[in-house]
Structure 1
Amino acid sequence: MNYIEKGSKEFRKANAALFAGGFCTFAVLYSTQPILPYLSKEFNISPTTASLSLSVTTISLAISLLIVGSLSEALGRKSVMTFSMFSASILAMLTAFVPSFHYLIVLRILQGFVLSGLSAIAMAYLGEEIEEKSLGIAMGMFISGNSLGGMFGRITIGIFTDLFNWRIALCSIGALSLISSVLFYVQLPPSKHFTPRTLNMKKLTKSMVNHLKNSNLLCLFITGFLLLGCLVSLYNYIGFQLIAPPYSLSPTLVSFIFVLYLCGTFSSTWMGHLADNYGKQKVLRIAFLIMLTGIGITLSINIALKILGIALLTFGFFGGHSIASSWVGHLASHDKAQASSLYLFFYYIGSSVGGTSAGTFWTNYGWIGVVGLIISFILIAFIVSTKLPKDKAYEIHKAEKTNL
């Protein structure tokens, strides 16, 4: 069937392109997260209101994922993803010139809509073009790009805010994303297993409803919601704690907290590989336990221990997301793009709900309130994971090893 195999030139090019795509998407999506305290101060708004600059983007992204995934069935994968990246980069540069917080919100909503083009389709592209036994590592590479984009983008924002101001910082992210967009367009191999279909909204709506009726897929959707709710709750408000006494860190130093995203770059690929060999359900639960340990450690006043805790939660999150997102493609028996879109819809709604609700916990209870919310999310995710089925790919792999 000419699927892209691990080790081939096409496999390397596809990974490089989607790595760049993930880098661009997450650098732009979370570009306002490191500057929430400065937006709060400049526009004279509360921390919870400032967090809307991130939440509205993830909400519009989540909603449009349901539409764009369907559009790609008619328009093609690469063309929609390319448009998404270039337009998101231009909008990112425009956010640097907003005269008020309201204008920033409008542009951030538009960014969410266009960013959905890559997020909705990349998973479907990988599911269609990559051979099944290499899908776990390919998905891990894509998510590694997400984590590096999130990390490098936030660090750049922090440094440029410290050296210049947050406006120049946002403009720089737009320029970097534009470069990533060019790399994506040049490197991504064309689809070989995609068959265009006439857009039929009634049929596609029915397909989504059927996916929601699939209890296994619904468990994965809820898992995605809870996973990103945890991560965004942590990183939205850790900056508020670290710039205040007794830490009183500068924007540059606080931004280097996002270096911990390197843990995700490693864990998404490594835990994806472990899941292929030892079973997705087992490794997913291990990821939750790592997250639970990490968030508990962040209660320490000692900054070294606090950073260790953040690193552990980040490690577990990216590993868990890599497993859950690749599992959607295995469990969806039809219309994989719609299944991927629904997973990401829940995933980004989790970001909005977690990120904004954690603001209320931060305002009323401080850091211990944020930690309590995150722990509740992790425990619910663990319970949900017990409802997931046996991993057929792992069972086949185990049988093959036994026969050897």
Structure 2
Amino acid sequence: MSKAPTSLAEDVTWDGHAKGSKGYRRILAALALAGVATFAQLYSTQAVLPLMAADLRISAAEAALSISLATVGLAVSVLPWSFAADRIGRVRAMAFGIGAATLLGLLVPLAPTVPVLLGLRALEGMALGGIPAIAIAYLNEEVTKIHTALAAGSYVAGTTLGGLAGRLVAGPAGELWGWRAATLAVSVLATLSAVLFLVLVPGQRRFTPAPAQGFQGAWRTLRTHAANPRLLALYLQAFLLMGGFVAVYNYLGFRLHAAPFAMPATLVSLIFLAYLSGTVTSRWAAGLTTRFGRRNVLLAGILVMSSGLALTLMDNLAATLAGLVVFTGGFFAAHSVGSGWTGAIATEGRAQAASLYNLSYYLGSSVIGWAGGLAFQAFGWTALASGVIALGITTAAVTAVVHRQTPTSR
């Protein structure tokens, strides 16, 4: 984690780690591990929500609060973390956040009551806010400009593996020993990943500490980003698509547990293998942007996502699982393009631009991810899936209008 010894002149003329270099590989490996530590913990209860609801005698929507409050905590903390990272450095901020999150994650299985459990999950989410937005700002500074979109896609691919690893560990462990053992196992996995991240992550060479802005300076930066319609369209995309994505994964497990599928928890946890499609499409989509432009690839991702979800409306297990794979691949293709695009549009205050994207992203996860449960409980899966498809259509329409084909779309 120490900074490589270089002269000031070298750092001024250095263009960043190029694709294929040792530093580039270490950055991607370290951020992939940070993705495991972050997203395995953030969604550690998702694979065992039905078990948690039964054990604690709470409803599906109440159990899903263990996800929503963690993502709310992350959402409200990304902006403070971004300003802290401007002062103390990207790597140091990520190290503090990931360390605090792993300690809190180890306490979650010990929670004696539902309120304590939810409080710990909220704090865990706040600590995890130090990773997602800062990681993108770090990439934009330390990787050569021509390769930043590909590096961002690789980072998103790593986050999908993190989310998948946590769910695959939690599902079988929960079936055998209960949801508390499942969350403990995920926290141990996250701790090991955090340690490896600290060992591998290269020091910063292009970071310059920003002067303390004060409230007015911070507000001016945020207001500039909020007044940019192209950034606003990306923030809306993050809110709507992520909200719909989390709602699908939160409640599909309940549907598969019930008739006509009646699947056990261990098998239900395997639905998260669909994340592997996102691991592939997030990198693939990032590469396609150089040929077709970010706007077109983003629209294609939304179309694929909505088409896949339409397949889950059938009461057929094969169609539902195939639709989930397509839905997941489309979502991560769109997300990898949107998250990387913020850094290309925002020439100043990149950490804050990325933080606003993540704020929208996780607010969508919290609000729509929870509210989807109300629709599911009242009207069933058809209502939930149709609502998420409508969110995708809305996002595509806004994207098509606001992001006209321009040089920075490529």
TM range, normalised to the smaller chain? Answer: over 0.9
2:288 corresponds to 1:271:
no
Identity of aligned residues (%): 37
Residue 392 of structure 1 corresponds to which residue in structure 2?
A: 407
Q: Which residue of 2 aligns with 1:185?
A: 198
Instruction: Confirm whether residue 99 of structure 1 aligns to residue 122 of structure 2.
Output: no
Determine the C-alpha separation between the residues in 2 that align with 1:199 and 1:107: 31
Aligned to 2:369: 355
Shift of 1:327: 0.6
**What residue number does 1:34 align with?**
47
Tell me if 1:126 matches 2:139.
yes
- The answer to whether the Cα contact below 8 Å between 1:295 and 1:371 also exists between their aligned partners in 2 is yes
Query: How far 1:393 sits from its partner (Å)?
Result: 5.0
* 2:157 is the counterpart of 1:150: no
State the SS of the aligned residue for 2:130: helix
Which residue does the alignment assign to 1:228? 242
Q: Which residue of 2 aligns with 1:78?
A: 91
- TM-score under structure 1 length normalisation: 0.96
Could you tell me whether the CA contact under 8 Å between 1:229 and 1:354 is conserved in 2? yes
SS at match of 2:20: coil
State the 1:131 CA deviation: 1.1
For 2:409 and 2:79, how far apart are their aligned partners in 1?
30
Displacement after TM superposition at 1:116 (Å): 0.5
Report SS of the residue matched to 1:117.
coil
Residues in 2 aligned to 1:389 and 1:25: alpha-carbon distance in whole angstroms: 34
Residue 185 of structure 2 aligns with an amino acid whose one-letter code is S
Select which of 259, 276, 300 maps to 1:286: 300
Name the counterpart of 2:57: 44
**Structure 2-normalised TM-score?**
0.95
Which deviates more from structure 2 when the two are superposed, residues 84-93 or residues 322-331?
A: 84-93
The corresponding residue for 1:137 is 150
Q: Find the counterpart in structure 2 of residue 377 from structure 1.
A: 391
- Compute the displacement of 1:342 (Å): 0.3
Is 1:280–1:391's contact at 8 Å kept on the other side of the alignment? Answer: no
Q: Residue 195 of structure 1 aligns with which residue?
A: 208
User: Can you list the C-alpha shifts for 1:352-380, whole angstroms capped at 9, x where unaligned?
Assistant: 11111101100111101111210111011
1:156-211 alpha-carbon deviations (Å, 9 max, x no partner)? 10010112111111111111111111111111111111111232232112100110
Match of 2:5 in 1: none
CA shift at 1:49, angstroms?
1.2
Counterparts of residues 308-323 of structure 1 (less than 5 Å)? 308-323=322-337
Mapping 1:298-309, distance limit 5 Å: 298-309=312-323
User: What is the rounded CA distance, in whole Å, between the counterparts of 2:212 and 2:42 in structure 1?
Assistant: 28
Asked whether the 8 Å contact 1:24–1:85 carries over to 2, the reply is yes
Task: Judge conservation of contact 2:241–2:391 (CA < 8 Å) in 1.
Answer: yes
| Shift >3 Å, 4+ stretches | none
Which of 316, 325, 343 is matched with 2:357 structurally?
Answer: 343
* Equivalent residue number for residue 172 of structure 2: 159
Q: How far apart are the structure 2 equivalents of 1:90 and 1:191?
A: 26
Provide the rounded CA distance (Å) in 1 between the counterparts of 2:284 and 2:246: 22
Note the C-alpha offset of 1:245.
1.7
User: Unaligned 5+ residue runs, structure 1?
Assistant: 396-404
Q: Secondary structure at the residue paired with 1:193?
A: coil
Aligned AA (1:147): T
In 1, Cα distance between equivalents of 2:114 and 2:48: 13
Whole-angstrom distance in 2 between the partners of 1:134 and 1:218: 24
Specify the alignment match of 1:242 in structure 2.
256
8 A contact 1:216–1:389 mirrored in 2: no
Question: CA-atom RMSD, angstroms?
Answer: 1.1
| Mapped contact 1:152–1:259 kept (Cα < 8 A) | no
1:72 is displaced (CA, Å) by 0.7
Distance 2:409 2:76 in 1: 33
Q: Deviations over 1:244-265 (max 9, x none)?
A: 1221111110000000100000
